[in-house]
Amino acid sequence: MEITVVEGDITAQDVDAIVNAANRAMRGGGGVDGAIHRAGGPAVLEDCRRRFPAGLATGDAGWTTAGLLPARWVIHVVGPNYNRGERDRTLLTSCYHRALAVADDLGAHTVAFPLISAGSYGWPKTDAIDAALEVFRAAQTQVAEARMVAFDSSTYAAIQDALRRG
């Protein structure tokens, strides 16, 4: 699997699936979750209600339609909330593992990822990047490209540094 990085908005990515950093309720929110629901339109929330009547567990992933987005699917994950004391790193790596497994089930070959838990959930950015790369580098998957989407230039530079370090 090729690991790429771009700076930009995940909702604009022309890939098979984009990953959403959601919460356990799975009914939308702020950050990347809010941006995806706004850009995808009401079909995303309708599908969340239908497929996830009881929400989703921390560390898990599930998919919905991407509605009006260029991608075909949204793969929702629930990262650990570091600010609230959820600091078990396996919950964070699990999000990436599970997202790739769902992508394989869907037959998605290109998948764009935000930096899960690194926004309002407060996971330290450098370690959030390392956790993603650890999973991507070891992944056994049919996904051909994992595209890391950095929302700002400092995150973009930090991901590039981590990729170069290998």
Q: How many residues bind ligand AR6 (CB under 6 A)?
A: 24
- Which neighbouring-strand residues pair with 74? 18, 64
- Residue at token pair 């991507």: 136
By CB under 6 A, which span of 5-13, 52-60, 64-72, 100-108 interacts with ligand AR6? 5-13
User: CA nearest 97: which of 124, 127, 59, 130?
Assistant: 59
Interface with ligand AR6, residue 9, by CB under 6 A: yes
Q: Which of 61, 115, 135, 159 binds ligand AR6 (CB under 6 A)?
A: 115
Q: Are 165 and 30 in contact (CB under 8 A)?
A: no
Quote the tokens at residue 126: 């450098």
Q: Which of 33, 59, 99, 102 binds ligand AR6 (CB under 6 A)?
A: 33
Q: Are 3 and 146 in contact (CB under 8 A)?
A: yes
CA 143-144-147 angle, 5° bins? 90
Q: Are 133 and 163 in contact (CB under 8 A)?
A: yes
- The contact mask relative to ligand AR6 for 55-94 (x = CB under 6 A, - = no) is ------------------------x---------------
- Residue at token pair 């990262």: 79
Q: Minimum distance between the CB of residue 78 and ligand AR6, rounded to whole angstroms?
A: 8
Nearer to ligand AR6, 11 or 141 (CB): 11
Active site residues: 33
Interface with ligand AR6, residue 116, by CB under 6 A: yes
Name the strand (E) or helix (H) holding 73.
Answer: strand 73-78
Nearer to ligand AR6, 48 or 103 (CB): 48
Given the rule CB under 6 A, which residues bind ligand AR6?
Answer: 9-11, 21-23, 29-33, 35, 79, 114-121, 149, 151, 155
